[in-house]
Structure 1
């Protein structure tokens, strides 16, 4: 009987250890480490980019910092190229990706999203003197500069474009300006920010999608505590004016709806 009791005690201890490990796999782990590890591009103005001093700045950077503050931890950013950014969650390189990640049914099968915090529209960008590409359908047989795994890349491909792979918006717009691509489908907010800083750049919006796309903060599945904490933090920064102040700084308006 003594060995049975010993086995039961060991089994009970194992359950406790396993339960503790599971609990520490999400929100508790973040809080005990004192940091929220955030994956981001760092090349996608105005959401996440480097200013002249070299500092990482942007709308998503400040949103990430505000959320981390509400969780009682520091935001620790880790940069990577878009095409491998979300996969970094699977490798546990970070806890979340805050990089204007579009909420799609395909992604929701594998990951969880926060409540939407950005609403934007896909726009078709071409050189100012381009009269051939006036609609998304006109991309058929044309070269479109895109991040290959992005929603924009899939939209370009759906319309028959030949994709020219890029690391993000900055490279895409440069390829259009250089004539190495006929167009790029990208985010309306990014384009407006680009034109704000470079009003004389010879590019224009040829077409715009009617419906808005929504972005959310993406995390691994089965981390309900962390997801709830992020949603609560988003709710708080919207309620206390923090979100509006950040949005006004980068866009001059609320971009959540």
Structure 2
């Protein structure tokens, strides 16, 4: 009797599998197109990627990439500004559909989120004053002062090469400390240096070394959105194919920054 009941229960369970509808979570692309807008998280305080110009208009390379992607998705771009520490968390809270803010593609992030293909590449570069001949490689930082944001990866790299860190708030302050001799060097982002050189071509600093491996950034979205990622990737391909990417790169960096 117990055996029969067991068989009966198993049969019922198997039958029910055909009648219980599967609960599917719709890809965010559907909701974005229905709403007619893609909500993009960004800092708005990180030139030349995302910042406010003299007329207080939000602009920058990442912002323009976001606008072009939205156009090719057939929707409007709505930018929601926030501090860096809360941007990616905003995806979890569903405040944003995507974040475009120089978010590096890392294995740790890929485990929790989806990324587009890379849309920009950067390298760590070693910057010194023009008259500094003592530092030519990263190894030459040993025993020298390097101007760095203390919690940045660049600061960790400088320490790994034996430098003493001089704490700063960011790129501009780091460069100024190198220029006035309070620091011997700074390790910083190649993209930031291109932007700096574009606006201040006569500044007496130069790049003496760069890392061979590039870091890539992508558009980050919630996990489980293959349709959205595919649509964003197609938009990025179209932006590069039709010359839009080249124009934006020339405007903000004066160079190709895709590789």
TM over 0.5: yes
Aligned position for 1:112: 114
Aligned length: 241
Aligned position for 1:214: 216
* Mapped contact 1:145–1:175 kept (Cα < 8 A): no
Residues 253 and 138 (structure 1), Cα distance of their counterparts in 2 relative to 1, 3 Å cut: closer
* Mapped contact 1:44–1:169 kept (Cα < 8 A): no
* Residue deviations 1:110-145 (CA, integer Å, cap 9, x gap): 322211221232112244455555432344564442
Distance apart, 1:171 and its partner CA: 4.8
Aligned position for 1:49: 51
Distance apart, 1:174 and its partner CA: 4.6
- TM-score scaled to structure 1, two decimals? 0.77
* Mapped contact 1:124–1:208 kept (Cα < 8 A): yes
Helix, strand or coil at the partner of 1:23: coil
Within the candidate set 218, 243, 254, 2:245 is matched to 243
* Mapped contact 1:145–1:176 kept (Cα < 8 A): no
Within the candidate set 143, 146, 150, 2:149 is matched to 146
Residues 236 and 52 (structure 1), Cα distance of their counterparts in 2 relative to 1, 3 Å cut: same
Greater Cα shift, 131-140 or 197-206: 131-140
Helix, strand or coil at the partner of 1:36: strand
Aligned position for 2:32: 30
Distance apart, 1:66 and its partner CA: 0.3
Helix, strand or coil at the partner of 2:248: helix
Distance 1:147 1:90 in 2: 28
Say whether 1:58 aligns with 2:60.
yes
Helix, strand or coil at the partner of 1:246: helix
* Mapped contact 2:148–2:154 kept (Cα < 8 A): no
Aligned position for 2:70: 68
Helix, strand or coil at the partner of 1:75: strand
Residues 181 and 78 (structure 1), Cα distance of their counterparts in 2 relative to 1, 3 Å cut: farther
Q: CA RMSD in A?
A: 3.1
Distance apart, 1:172 and its partner CA: 4.3
Task: Write out aligned runs for 1:170-181 (5 A).
Answer: 170-174=172-176, 176-177=178-179
- TM-score scaled to structure 2, two decimals? 0.77
Distance 2:236 2:213 in 1: 23
